[in-house]
Amino acid sequence: MAKWVYSFGDGKAEGRADMRNLLGGKGANLAEMSSLGLPVPPGFTISTEVCTYFYDNKKTYPPELKDELEKALVEVEKVVGIKFGDAANPLLVSVRSGARASMPGMMDTVLNLGLNDKTVLGLAKSSGDERFAWDSYRRFIQMYSNVVLDVGHHYFEEALEIKKEDLGVSMDTDLKADDWRAIVADYKKLVEKRTGKPFPQEPREQLWGAVGAVFDSWMNQRAITYRRLHAIPESWGTAVNVQAMVFGNMGEDCATGVAFTRDPSTGTNLFYGEYLVNAQGEDVVAGIRTPQHLTVQGKLAQKSDAPAMEEVMPEVFKQLDSVRQRLEQHYHDMQDIEFTVQRGKLYMLQTRNGKRTAKAALKIAVDMVHEGLIDKREAVARIVPASLDQLLHPTLDPKAPRKVIAKGLPASPGAASGKVVFTADDAEKQARAGEKVILVRRETSPEDIHGMHAAEGILTSTGGMTSHAAVVARGMGKPCVAGAGDVRIDAKARTLSVRGTVVKTGDTITLDGSTGEIILGVVPTVQPELSGDFSQLMEWADEFRKLGIRTNAETPTDAAQARKFGAEGIGLCRTEHMFFDGDRIVAVREMILADDEKSRRAALAKIQPMQRQDFVELFEIMAGLPVTIRLLDPPLHEFLPKTAAEMEVVARDLGVDAKEIEERANKLHEFNPMLGHRGVRLGISYPEIYEMQARAIFEAVAEVQKKAGKTVIPEIMIPLVATKKELDLMKVVIDQVAEEVSSSSGEKLEYLVGTMIELPRAALRAGDIAETAEFFSFGTNDLTQTTFGLSRDDSASFLEKYQQRGIFEHDPFASLDIEGVGELIEIATVRGRKVRNSLKLGICGEHGGDPASVFFCHKAGLDYVSCSPYRVPIARLAAAQAALGGPLKTE
């Protein structure tokens, strides 16, 4: 028969810490603390399975629940020696939610339940404090009415303020017992007026009302939003914890507080927390009174005059410090605890693994290994890979005020302030003059690369988490807010406007790339510090991981940064990004305008030495590590100007008529360029382009080998291949150039030729293609687009709706679609390796830095993942966790 209720208290419990799925985090830890013999007020937990039943059965309860709850209540009465509803000496209880994942403040709590017009008199008598009893009753009416009867808090606050004004007092503490009695009468009238019914007096009716309200709160808007933001499934449900009340507000020998067993901001091994004398729990959290520090050290550090608990209640503090140490020894993690002191006796109300900053998480994990509490495996498994972003980028000072004017997608983490500019050229020009700028565009294109590089941050009104702006910004380690749909950008007038606020060129804004917030003016930032703990944890992660970690980089700056972060080579060098710099773009446009092969070759000859120098620098930085170079991929029209004014400028630079440029642009125009004349298709049409690039690569290899005396093995990648024949034709061109350069330089050249798998056909025909290809790199950005038939730049407008409706669990451009795209990768892996056992496999889309996608790549048997430089540490940690079987679920 199903069991729905689990008791705890008096040194024993029916539950355990590992039953959090059934009892929720709070219930499981109350049971565990009870079994450890810690002073936990007795109570019981109604399991999460009741919540599931409640929603599956039109908000009704299992038939056995009533009897089980009554039996559990009797057990509580036995332990405390008083009865629920007894008018002379009543047992009061708290009713709290408790999901398996911590959701602070998202669901509802009721304290002092069991008070009514009769039991309040019994509480006054048994406590010897009439004021305390009536104060407790008014708190209960307010909380219960808000949570269960849906009467707004503000009605009660207004009634209280009016009463205080009438009495000529300003503080709650100035009110006497008779004042609270009168306020209770006012509150009860208020409830009857708002609900049409008197405030419930029967304690069991109150209890069932509160239990139902907690289950109802699982589906309140706060909880739904929190679950969506933290990927907590709706199906988990919440438990309900009913516990005997203990009172921190019965006098000066009573207190309540919240503490962390270590500092949650820094991770330092110091007892950290706050308490209030003569108060209830919500007083600490609600900020009604200013809490005092637990320790003398904390008090001195904050330059506070208020006495510390260590001074006011030295004996109780000693007990609390001993509980702190015991809990850490038992849970092997930093704990967030709640406690109450009732008449000099300590009671523990909650423990859970404490929320902490990324910096603190690293310090705590590394320190606990050195202290012998956990091993290296657990330390590595415990850190959330994505949280490392906090450590790698500047963040906004949490104490600084901010005026948020709009919100977009948090496309690239970090924070930056600067003057608004609307063109890439202005960004570059002003940055050269020493100005800090934010580049604002409707969307960015490869042409904007120089301005993006010069800007402190990038803001776009369209596009998603994997739009051009997002991908490039992440690669550069710059903050980016994309898809800010409320922002209207008028490029002509050079203004951005949001609901009446107009920002002009030269005005200052701040971007928070971690939250997507756009803020007016300058907000100070806090610079990241990479501690020794970071290096230590990364070293441990590298001991466990099997996947190689490479970077996507084409500039020396990015490549050097990625090496510092531990990249083991370049998995994607996008050669087209090198074409947009000053002199090069002129030569590239010359090549595009050329009418015959001879003229094209003449233009390409100007680009070749520049490309060669790029590769020399990358090979030197990577010092023998693999470098995968993707030959030209985008369609040629991307290199041509878009507006008539830009065409005039380019025509002057090239000494041709603007009409000629316009005609060529029109001729190259495509209705669907993503599936048009790009990638290998350009190489087939104009083999001289790939020939020039191959020559630049091999000449750079020869130069670096001569200089360094070490072999350099480039991996040359042909993009967008759909058939083996395309790859065969390009390989002939590359092999021929290699032979020529080897012969003229006298250097032996070793290299691999492979392809990017970014079309479903290529994945399905991987066996054929592997007869020629020596490696595959899965271009998961385009493979996702071609598998779903989705444009990543246009889908941001409706993807959120798809997630809300449960069609997509997540944005498939941010985290790999395991079922569809993942299956294509698995098919290509099996078929490719069947033909060529030594086939090297990796991914180089943005998914390479997404922890869930890295887990999949490990499982699929890939050799490496490649991601933007600032995501390299995230990928290293995720790869280690994948090898260890997954991350540790600490909360």
**What is the set of active-site residues?**
468, 844
Q: What gap in Å lies between CA 799 and CA 818, rounded to an integer?
A: 17
Q: What gap in Å lies between CA 308 and CA 376, rounded to an integer?
A: 36
Supply φ then ψ for residue 495, to 5 degrees. -140, 155
Q: What is the DSSP string of 364-414?
A: HHHHHHHTTSS-HHHHHHHS-GGGGHHHHS-EE-TTS--EEEEE-EEEE--
**What residue type is 207 in one-letter code?**
L
Q: Is 90 helix (H, G, I), strand (E, B) or coil?
A: strand
Closest of 515, 463, 531, 751 to residue 628, by C-alpha: 751
**What residues pair up with 777 in beta bridges, in sequence order?**
756, 842
Decide if 31 contacts 23 (C-beta within 8 A). Answer: yes
Supply φ then ψ for residue 670, to 5 degrees. -130, 145
Please calculate the CA angle 871-873-879 and round it to the nearest 5 degrees.
100
**In 446-596, which ranges are continuous DSSP H helix?**
449-454, 468-476, 532-544, 556-564, 582-593
Decide if 591 contacts 600 (C-beta within 8 A). Answer: yes
Closest of 220, 152, 238 to residue 190, by C-alpha: 152
Q: What is the DSSP string of 47-82?
A: -HHHHHHHHHTTS---TTHHHHHHHHHHHHHHHHT-
Which H/E stretch holds residue 796? Answer: helix 796-804
Q: What gap in Å lies between CA 111 and CA 93, rounded to an integer?
A: 7
Three-state SS for 208-271 is HHHHHHHHHHCCCHHHHHHHHHCCCCHHHCEEEEEEECCCCCCCCCCEEEEEECCCCCCCCCCC
Supply φ then ψ for residue 620, to 5 degrees. -65, -45
Q: Is 458 helix (H, G, I), strand (E, B) or coil?
A: strand
Q: What gap in Å lies between CA 277 and CA 594, rounded to an integer?
A: 84
Q: What gap in Å lies between CA 785 and CA 93, rounded to an integer?
A: 56
User: What are the structure tokens assigned to 363, written together?
Assistant: 């310090």
Decide if 571 contacts 552 (C-beta within 8 A). Answer: yes
User: What are the structure tokens assigned to 485, written together?
Assistant: 């749909």
807 secondary structure, DSSP code: S
**What residue type is 218 in one-letter code?**
W
CA 843 to each of CA 760, 833, 878: distance values in angstroms, whole numbers, following the listed order: 15, 16, 15
Three-state SS for 287-304 is CCCCCEECCHHHHHHCCC
**What residue type is 797 in one-letter code?**
S
User: What are the structure tokens assigned to 646, written together?
Assistant: 């830009």
Positive or negative, the Cα torsion across 655, 659, 664, 670?
A: positive
- Within its chain, how far is the Cα of 750 from the centroid? 42
- What is the chain's length? 891
Decide if 393 contacts 479 (C-beta within 8 A). Answer: yes
Closest of 891, 889, 882, 871 to residue 466, by C-alpha: 871
Supply φ then ψ for residue 656, to 5 degrees. -125, 170
User: What are the structure tokens assigned to 687, written together?
Assistant: 């083999």
Please calculate the CA angle 366-370-373 and round it to the nearest 5 degrees.
90
Q: What gap in Å lies between CA 810 and CA 816, rounded to an integer?
A: 9
- With b for 16 or more beta-carbon neighbours within 10 A and e for fewer, the 598-613 pattern comes to eebbebbebbbeebbe
